[in-house]
Amino acid sequence: MTRKKFLAGNWKMQKTRAEASEFFQLFTKILGDLKNVTRVVDVAFGVPATLFDACSTNTAGSGVKILAQNVHFEKQGAFTGELSTGMLADAGLAGSIIGHSERRQYFAENDEAVGKKWNALALRGLLPVVCVGETKAEREQGKTNDVVTKQFEASFAHVSVEARANEFIVAYEPVWAIGTGLTATPEQAEDVHKMIRGLIDKHFGKERAESTRVLYGGSMNALNCAELLQKPNIDGGLIGGASLKPEDFSKMVQAALVAK
């Protein structure tokens, strides 16, 4: 099965509304009609809540997906500073990144919370982009597969049968390669992606394993993107720093357009 490539920029805590508008003006100028692009490659941006409206307006009708960077699993309530899936849907968003290593490291987000967020997004018809990945110490100790398996399965345990029927994406992001300039070799990344696809097969069956996209999220950039995307189990990228410049991200989208 040929899976449609998926490139998602993660802007983290970056950009004002004016800067976002300027980004999309140049991004569109470089790539041309984005509707033609998104017919072949899914393009998404995980943006701060202050940019939901500006990004949605600047990409209206293009097929570009706007994602949140986090969400709460409760429908509403006394959770100051949080956003619900209903709020994301009301803002016109396509889904949310969940379980990013920075959320785990700085905000004590655990696998149970990630699973509950996955469940809430899926039940709302929004796309969960579920992040998993090991630290440098865990990689050096040979624990990569154990860590990623635990993260996936401990989150999956909190996803209802109904929610499991809906689409999700897994993003493998080795923590040691995020923002460090270090990147897993295409072979290292492919090995973990293949293992993750095996986990999906175990819990969802072969057909879902073949159709579910697994993204690489460790310092993918315009120089290494094409080589990574040639690997059979790497279906795209969750891209941080390289997604902030329209020139760089456009090159990555162009690489995805020709990837086999």
Length of the chain: 260
Q: Of 220, 198, 221, give the one whose Cα is nearest residue 210.
A: 198
Beta-sheet pairing, 42-46 with 6-10: parallel
For the chain, what is the largest distance between any 2 Cα atoms, rounded to a whole number of angstroms? 48
User: Is residue 80 within 8 Å of 125, Cβ to Cβ?
Assistant: no
Residue type, 117: K
**Residue 72 annotated in active site:** no
The pair of three-digit structure tokens given for residue 15, joined into one six-digit string = 């950009």
| Cβ neighbours of 141 (radius 10 Å) | 12
Residue 232 exposed, middle or buried by CB count within 10 Å (0-12, 13-18, 19+): exposed
User: Is residue 100 within 8 Å of 175, Cβ to Cβ?
Assistant: no
**Residue 193 annotated in active site:** no
Active-site option among 102, 134, 173, 190: 173
Which residue is associated with the tokens 């993660």? Answer: 10
HSE of 255, CA atoms in CB hemisphere, 13 A: 22
The pair of three-digit structure tokens given for residue 154, joined into one six-digit string = 């401990």
Active-site option among 100, 109, 158, 190: 100
Catalytic residue positions, numbered: 100, 173
